[in-house]
Homo-oligomer: A and B are copies of this chain.
């Protein structure tokens, strides 16, 4: 990139996710960095990444990042846990000049800080759990931590359906988590390792009990990005307006569905007209 630092600073922050879940990260970024502009890409044509193989996830992530880099972004937030845990190295190799941040490392950091007894439960998709990235990231920070990772794929479907509270989501959470949290030495921390899960957070809290601290990576990812941009001189100063006009949305499929489901995640209404449909399935890198 041959732009001056000042011109670079004015570029948007690129945020990429396999779908709409990363909007929980976007919301945290907007809250902590309201002066920034954002370019959000949801690869809705090829979601979910969570059940796909590592090779496929790396290939899809490189393609999605390629779209954002071509449009011009000053940094890249990989707001998808599966892509963060699988494709981060490949992305950094492909774009060595670009600051790139995933959600796994900040999430693991938050989990380690929140836990007193060192027992941390991580809930995520099948792909994230199988990849073991949270387990590695947590034990790298806190070698004696005991990590209990549990794949909870139905949480994704519940979040996308908007069934975020009530007996059904609590029964499902109980089935996934009941045994773990009723053990003699239960975890004191539940780390949400999937960007979909913050929308069902109150239901999870009801199941695991009020003594368990629930952390998600959205807030800590935003804090980590803030520090990173500041240290690189890339942080924007105050802008008068905040909100949706500072974000551009791109999706690879289904603008209407993107807009509808996004409402649960961003807690704001989005008109389908604000979502640009792009095609990255046909061009390979």
Contact = CB atoms under 8 A, between A and B. Distances in A.
Nearest to A172: B168
Contacts of A59: 281
Interface string A221-254: 0000000000000000000000000000000011
Nearest to A176: B161
A253 B153 CA distance: 18
Interface in A29-47: 44-47
A268 interface: no
How many copies are assembled? 2
A45 B126 CA distance: 15
Given A45-B52, A52-B253, A253-B56, A167 B157 contact: no
A11 interface: no
A156 interface: yes
Contacts of A168: 168, 171-172, 175
A180 to B, nearest CB: 17
18 contacts: A45-B52, A46-B46, A47-B51, A51-B253, A51-B254, A51-B257, A53-B253, A56-B253, A126-B257, A154-B154, A154-B157, A154-B158, A154-B163, A157-B157, A163-B175, A171-B171, A281-B281, A282-B284
The 3 lowest CB-CB distance pairs between A and B, nearest first, are A157-B157, A154-B157, A53-B253
